[in-house]
Amino acid sequence: MRDIPREEEEKEEENQIQNVDVVEVDLGIPAQPAPRTEAVMMQEFMKLQEQRCVAYNTLERCMREFRQMKQLCAFQGTMKEITETFQTVSLAIIQLSKELKEAGHLQSSKYCEDLQELEQMKLKLTAEMHIKLQALSRNDNEEDKAEVRRLTAENRRLIFKINDVLNLIRYKARPQEA
């Protein structure tokens, strides 16, 4: 046996370990992640929809506060953030709908498209309602009151339709049992 101090022996072993060639073995398994299931994609949709709901709540609170306090700068800043959130969510849902369609999940893609259309209508209606409520706060008249009642009723109808589509999406988002 050689007279090598213990430290040198350990260093030599480390060098031998570091110099070992790594051999890659091809097991025939693709490096790509497994495709997402329909349920997983619909769960992603529901998370996006939750973000949209939070944005709507923020929008309604912001509009209510603006009508009460008339702070335009704060209103404009918050509106910019809300608009960006709606845009981001909308684009993500459009992409997800496209992916669902490409994967052959045509019904789920249609649900996403339908909900997207209903949400656009709701956002437009929300803006109209804000304008009418602003007008009422300056000049209380029966015509504007009637219009607010009409818009409120239309908003309720839209919310019922949105909830119907969301129930269908929730069903699709459930993990399928094997």
Tell me if residue 177 falls in helix, strand or coil.
coil
**Burial readout 80-105 (b: 16 or more C-beta within 10 A, e: otherwise):** eebeebbeebbebbeebbebbeeeeb
Q: Is the pTM for the entire model greater than 0.85?
A: no
- The predicted-structure confidence for 12-65, as pLDDT tens digits, reads as follows 666 555 554 544 555 555 556 667 889 899 999 999 999 999 999 998 888 888
Tell me if residue 108 falls in helix, strand or coil.
helix
Closest CA to 110 of 120, 100, 118: 100
Cα 153 from chain centroid (whole Å)? 27
